Amino acid sequence: MNTVNAELSFRTLGSGSCGNMAVVRSGSTTILIDAGLGSQRLIRERLAECGVEPLQIRAALISHGHCDHLAFAGLKFCCDMGIPILGQIDTLNKATEMMVNKTGRLPDHGVLQVLAPGTRIVIGDIDVTTFFVPHDVPTMGFVLRPAGMEFPKVTVATDIGRTGDDLIGHFMDADAIFIESNYNENMLRHSARGLRDRHRVQSATGHLGNIDAGRFIGRVYNLSARKPSVVTLMHLSDDHNTPACAIEDFKSASGLSHPECFCLSTAPRNGVGPEIRVVREHCRKS
Ligand SMILES: [Zn+2]
Ligand SMILES: [Zn+2]
C-alpha cells in the first residue's frame, strides 16, 4: 500500500463589493473563482503575491454576472491570457455585452464557455461540482476536490439570499467552508441606505447575514460526519459589518466555539488572504 496526500489550496485575492477573486490550486492545476477585481494591475499584483503566474491559470469559474464578480478588468485579463471563462448563460451574456460596450469587439471565440449549476467537471487536477445559489441573478456555488478524490472537499458560495435544506448537502463533510456573512442585522437596520436597498440585501434573493450564516453552518456542522477544519466568512459589507462583528455573530448563532471546533476567520475585503490548505491522506494500492 502506498500513502498519497491529496491536497487542495484556496486563497482569496479580494472579497466583497469592491471585488471578488480567489485562487484554487491542486497538483499542477491553478484556477480562479470569480474575476471581479477592478484593474488589471491589481489582478497581476495580487496573483504575484500568491506566486501565481497568469499563464498557469487553466480556467476562471464565475459565480454570477454582478460586476464585483466579473469586472471588465477580469474579463480583459482572461481574454488576453487565453483563460477560459466558465459561467452560466446569463453571466456569459453579461460578459459579451461588457466587452462589446467597452471595446466594440466580441470576446475571442472559445473564451466564454457554459457551465450550469448541477454539473461536475474535471479541470486538470481539480474536480469541480457546481450548485444553484439563490440570488437576484443566476448564481452558482462550487464544491472543489482534487481530481479522482472525494476528499479533501472545499465548498465556496457567496451572494446567498437564503439558506435552505437544498444547500446543506453541498456543505456537509467539507474540510473547508467559504461562505458569505454579509451584514450585521443591527447595523443594516440603522443604515443610512434607502429602505428598498436594505430590503433587497435582506431578501431571499439578496445577501446572507451573519446570524443566518452562523445558524446554517451550525446545522451543517452537526449533520456532518466529517467536521470542517476551517470556516472563512466572505463578502463582508463595508457599511453593515466588521470582521469582529461577523465572528461574534457567527459564534453565537452557530453555537460553535473556535478554535475548538474549527479555525474561523474573515476574508480581507481588499487584499490577499492567507492560503488555506486542506490535505487528506489516502491509501492507494500500488
Ligand atoms: Zn451578487
Ligand atoms: Zn457580490
What's the CA-to-centroid distance between 139 and ligand 2, angstroms?
10
What's the CA-to-centroid distance between 150 and ligand 2, angstroms?
29
* 8 Å CB contact between 59 and 138: no
Under CATH, what is the fold of the domain 2-284? Metallo-beta-lactamase; Chain A (3.60.15)
* 8 Å CB contact between 8 and 284: no
Q: In what order do the strands lie in the sheet with 112-114?
A: 112-114, 85-87, 57-61, 29-35, 21-26, 2-14, 276-284
What's the CA-to-centroid distance between 228 and ligand 2, angstroms?
24
* 8 Å CB contact between 21 and 4: no
- Look at residues 151, 150, 219 and name the one whose alpha carbon lies nearest to residue 179: 219
* 8 Å CB contact between 168 and 177: no
pLDDT at residue 192, rounded to an integer: 84
Instruction: Please report which residue ranges of 140-205 form alpha helices under DSSP H.
Output: 165-171, 185-189, 195-202
CA distance 261 to 246: 17
CA distance 84 to 113: 7
CA distance 85 to 62: 7
pLDDT above 50: residue 283: no
286 vs 45 pLDDT, higher one: 45
Show the cell assigned to 99: 466587452
pLDDT above 50: residue 285: no
Confidence label for 286 from pLDDT (cuts 50, 70 and 90): very low
CA distance 218 to 212: 10
191 vs 85 pLDDT, higher one: 85
What's the CA-to-centroid distance between 138 and ligand 1, angstroms?
9
What's the CA-to-centroid distance between 64 and ligand 1, angstroms?
7
Ligand approaching nearest to the C-alpha of 180: 2
What's the CA-to-centroid distance between 179 and ligand 2, angstroms?
12
Show the cell assigned to 192: 443610512
* 8 Å CB contact between 148 and 174: no
Distances (CA, A) of 110 to 83, 86, 256: 10, 10, 46
What's the CA-to-centroid distance between 155 and ligand 2, angstroms?
17
Average predicted confidence (pLDDT) for the chain: 94
CA distance 66 to 18: 11
pLDDT at residue 5, rounded to an integer: 64
